[in-house]
Amino acid sequence: MDPEEFRANGKQLVDWIADYLESVEDYPVQSRVRPGDIQDRLPDRPPEHGEEFQAMLADVEEIIMPGITHWQSPNFFAYFPANASGPGILGEMLSAGLGVQGMLWATSPACTELETRVLDWMAHALGLPEAFLSHTEGGGVIQDTASSATLCALLAARERITDGAGNRDGVPDDLVAYASSEAHSSLDKAARIAGIGDARVRKIATRGDGGMDPDALERALIADIEAGLRPCFLMATLGTTSTMAFDPLEPLGRLARKHGLWLHVDAAMAGNAAICPEHRWMHEGMARADSYCVNPHKWLFTNFDCDCFWVRNRHALIRAMAILPEYLKNPATESGQVIDYRDWQIPLGRRFRALKLWFVLRHFGLEGLRERLREHCRLARWFADQVDADPHLERVAPVHLNLVCFRHRDGNEAGEELLEKLNDSGRLYLSSTRLNGQFVLRMSIGQTETRERHVKAAWERIRSSASEC
């Protein structure tokens, strides 16, 4: 594809995407294909001879689109938002167009330096501690996902407590990690990969509000210390995946400090709201955190993948991750004056992800972003009020931000029937969880184009369907 052909096809594809975004709410939100439907329509061998771009685009419409669940629909209320935006998509395109590999500062200085600057911007925007800014010992980096950020934090914690012996000699079998019973499953995976193992991840009980119980944590710490084990890592969650509950950072931070644990704060979803000063309450106690992550690819209009990860002490992270083979040596690295982000992450290679976040921040401005998030939170409050006044439904968790969890008063079967009926309609998409044995529907309001009329229409359908279950 020469540049002229690329220009023509590219313009056509941009038009196609713009048309799609314009009409996305007309599609049934959740794809209804059966397992294998899409594969069955694809040839089982690649073509021997090149094809026209038109043929690929036609197959996208014919074969691919029926298998798409429309995450960008304003009627998508399932799981969590993965909200994209025009500037985010354009940043993603530019990243592909430049096609740089940003593993070292030297392999594309702008890729590193823009990322450092944008992460400092984000730290200011979220009101994070000064110690996370790049002019200190700390700093930020873009990871693919919160799962990777948690794994990096755990590896840094492991090498800090073993003074490098984990990497050198293998992982000792006395390290223990702690999180609440509501923490994200990515911690369990990270603990397996880091050699901690399932048996040494403690799931601490939560209090009535869903946040971790600090007294239960302290009891677990003391029991482990008395058993001769070494508590090493504590993950606090701000906004749990099931019900968006908040762990109390302040007392958890004190316990982490007292017992020498690395405190990682997982704010993947809810942390985005901290760009609004009125939601910064969740960060109270952040002064003791060793690391923090948030996903602009969830609720900040930046296309997947984009997780922002900060550490208080970059040397602890780099010590865990750095390996310098001969073929990567270069004068800039040796000068010690540059950041080589390959030492802040698991893979070597890295994409130019800062572009899309930079575009998003500049397009909306912080006030523009706050306005959207505040509207989502206002709509969630309105929705919660409707549920509270409804005879068939019952709310099961407090609404702190943009997630409303509710159940059918007639029980789990009625709730399951309700969810199926709603999602089958194609007009909206919700997901579910379980809480104390109860089947719970989750209404997560956070898509870029979700407005009051979408939430009102969704409520009308939920209300009338609930009365028939």
Catalog residues that contact ligand PLP under the rule CB under 6 A. 80, 145-147, 184, 186, 237, 239, 241, 266, 268-269, 295, 307
Nearest to 217 by CA among 255, 272, 245: 255
Whether the Cβ atoms of residue 350 and residue 103 lie closer than 8 Å to each other: yes
Nearest approach in angstroms of CB 219 to ligand PLP is 24
Whether the Cβ atoms of residue 309 and residue 288 lie closer than 8 Å to each other: no
Nearest approach in angstroms of CB 223 to ligand PLP is 26
Nearest approach in angstroms of CB 409 to ligand PLP is 28
Nearest approach in angstroms of CB 293 to ligand PLP is 8
Q: Is the peptide bond before 305 cis (omega within 30 degrees of 0)?
A: yes
Nearest approach in angstroms of CB 80 to ligand PLP is 6
Nearest to 430 by CA among 408, 400, 410: 408
Q: Which is nearer to ligand PLP, 74 or 81 (CB)?
A: 81
Q: Which is nearer to ligand PLP, 237 or 447 (CB)?
A: 237
Q: Which is nearer to ligand PLP, 146 or 379 (CB)?
A: 146
Nearest approach in angstroms of CB 81 to ligand PLP is 10
What is residue 14's DSSP assignment?
H
**Number of other CB atoms surrounding residue 278 within 10 Å:** 10
Q: Which is nearer to ligand PLP, 356 or 392 (CB)?
A: 356
Q: Which is nearer to ligand PLP, 423 or 444 (CB)?
A: 444
Q: Which is nearer to ligand PLP, 269 or 320 (CB)?
A: 269
In angstroms, rounded to a whole number, what is the distance separating the alpha carbons of residues 11 and 3? Answer: 12
Residue indicated by tokens 């704060």: 265
Nearest approach in angstroms of CB 17 to ligand PLP is 23
Nearest to 264 by CA among 285, 233, 239, 240: 233
Which 3-state string (H, E, C) describes 80-94?
CCCCCCHHHHHHHHH
Tokens of 84: 């994209």
What is residue 373's DSSP assignment?
H
Tokens of 391: 């005879």
Whether the Cβ atoms of residue 384 and residue 143 lie closer than 8 Å to each other: no
Q: Which is nearer to ligand PLP, 146 or 462 (CB)?
A: 146
Q: Which is nearer to ligand PLP, 241 or 303 (CB)?
A: 241
In angstroms, rounded to a whole number, what is the distance separating the alpha carbons of residues 49 and 180? Answer: 55
Nearest approach in angstroms of CB 71 to ligand PLP is 13
Q: Which is nearer to ligand PLP, 181 or 330 (CB)?
A: 181
- β pairing state of 230-237 and 262-266: parallel
Element housing 263 (H / E): strand 262-266
Nearest approach in angstroms of CB 331 to ligand PLP is 35
Nearest to 112 by CA among 121, 103, 120: 103
Whether the Cβ atoms of residue 141 and residue 119 lie closer than 8 Å to each other: yes
Nearest approach in angstroms of CB 29 to ligand PLP is 19
Q: In what order do the strands lie in the sheet with 403-408?
A: 393-395, 403-408, 438-444, 431-435
Nearest approach in angstroms of CB 353 to ligand PLP is 13
Residue indicated by tokens 């430049």: 98
Q: Which is nearer to ligand PLP, 28 or 239 (CB)?
A: 239
Distance from first CA to last CA of the chain, Å, rounded?
A: 56
Q: Which is nearer to ligand PLP, 186 or 465 (CB)?
A: 186
**Number of other CB atoms surrounding residue 31 within 10 Å:** 16
Nearest approach in angstroms of CB 320 to ligand PLP is 19
Residue 180: strand, helix, or coil: strand
Q: Which is nearer to ligand PLP, 298 or 408 (CB)?
A: 298
Whether the Cβ atoms of residue 173 and residue 167 lie closer than 8 Å to each other: no
